[in-house]
Amino acid sequence: MREQKNIILFGDGSFGKQLYKQLVYAAYNIKAVSTKDGAAQFELGDDIYIHKINIKKNDDILSLGIDPEKDLLYCAMQKTANNLFLVLTLKTLFADAKIISISNSFESTRKLEYAGTDSVIDLYEATSRRVVNILTKPAVRRALDEIVYKQNNLKMAEIEIPKESFLDGVFINNIDFKSFGVILIAIIDIELGHELIFTDHRMNNKLDAGDVLVVVAKIDALKKFKDTIATTKK
């Protein structure tokens, strides 16, 4: 049986708090770390010891006793700049360490990946498939649901393409879903026996009336998108 890794969680606000709560439920051995001025925001309870450090001082990070072979490092700071700085520092100090970081934009994700993050969880574009690939534990998925959806006023919904919709007969790659304020996660294709198909850049399925789009968006954008796809073909 493989030894379960310990987790070093760098977090100074709601992201770190939610991940900590759910990882504790999953019985992980976690060391919580916060910036000195952000520890009060963690709100984890009096019985939780939080290591307060200056993340810009190598000696403070080294004092945590990180073992890159046994510890999984989570960078879940509120500020993207702090996560980026942490990744660069941790990769310099512990080249073989496994690092997972939270991002809140495409640009931040790109920078974090260049910095050496092993896996990036994009809070706005983390699809179901990517979440499963990164972290398969149900407890962590619950934490992501709390962070990605509830805290950002987002909702996942299944929307059926109605008859005569302008989407009927259109290929996925010809639709700019972002212009509607939605992210396409998957489709349920009636031509393939109602199979659930997760989307990525390689697929370009043709949509038909009756297909179901699984999307994530802010609640107002979802309603507008649902009304818009009911628009008939010109």
Cα(29)–Cα(118) distance, rounded to whole angstroms?
21
Please report how many Cα atoms fall inside a 13 Å half-sphere around the Cα of residue 175, on the Cβ side: 23
Residue 13 sits in a domain whose CATH number is: 3.40.50.720
CB distance 52 to 69 below 8 Å: no
Instruction: Please give the model's pTM, rounded to 2 decimal places.
Output: 0.53
* Residue 128: per-residue pLDDT: 42
Q: pLDDT for 64-118, tens place per residue? A: 999 998 898 999 888 888 888 999 999 999 999 999 988 877 778 888 888 888 8
Looking at the fold, whether 40 and 104 belong to one and the same domain comes out as yes
Residue 52, Cα to own-chain centre: how many angstroms?
Answer: 25
Residue 163, Cα to own-chain centre: how many angstroms?
Answer: 34
Question: Residues with Cβ < 8 Å from 224, sequence gap 6 or more?
Answer: 180, 181
**Alpha-helix residue ranges (DSSP H) falling in the chain:** 14-25, 58-62, 80-93, 106-115, 128-134, 138-144, 219-229
Looking at the fold, whether 159 and 44 belong to one and the same domain comes out as no
Find, among 127, 115, 109, 131, the residue nearest to 187 by Cα.
127
Residue 210 sits in a domain whose CATH number is: 3.30.70.1450
Looking at the fold, whether 192 and 78 belong to one and the same domain comes out as no
User: Domain range holding 42?
Assistant: 6-151
* Residue 26: per-residue pLDDT: 63
Looking at the fold, whether 54 and 128 belong to one and the same domain comes out as yes
Looking at the fold, whether 145 and 187 belong to one and the same domain comes out as no
Looking at the fold, whether 18 and 126 belong to one and the same domain comes out as yes
Higher-confidence position of 136 and 196? 196
How far the first Cα of the chain sits from its last, in Å, is: 61
Q: pLDDT for 171-215, tens place per residue? A: 988 888 888 888 887 788 777 766 666 666 567 788 999 998 888
Question: Residues with Cβ < 8 Å from 164, sequence gap 6 or more?
Answer: 209, 232, 233
Asked whether the predicted pLDDT for residue 161 surpasses 70, the reply is: yes
CB distance 60 to 54 below 8 Å: yes
Looking at the fold, whether 174 and 91 belong to one and the same domain comes out as no
Q: Could you tell me the strand order of the sheet in which 119-122 lies?
A: 50-53, 30-35, 6-10, 71-75, 98-103, 119-122
For residue 56, is it within any domain? yes
Number of domains in the chain: 2
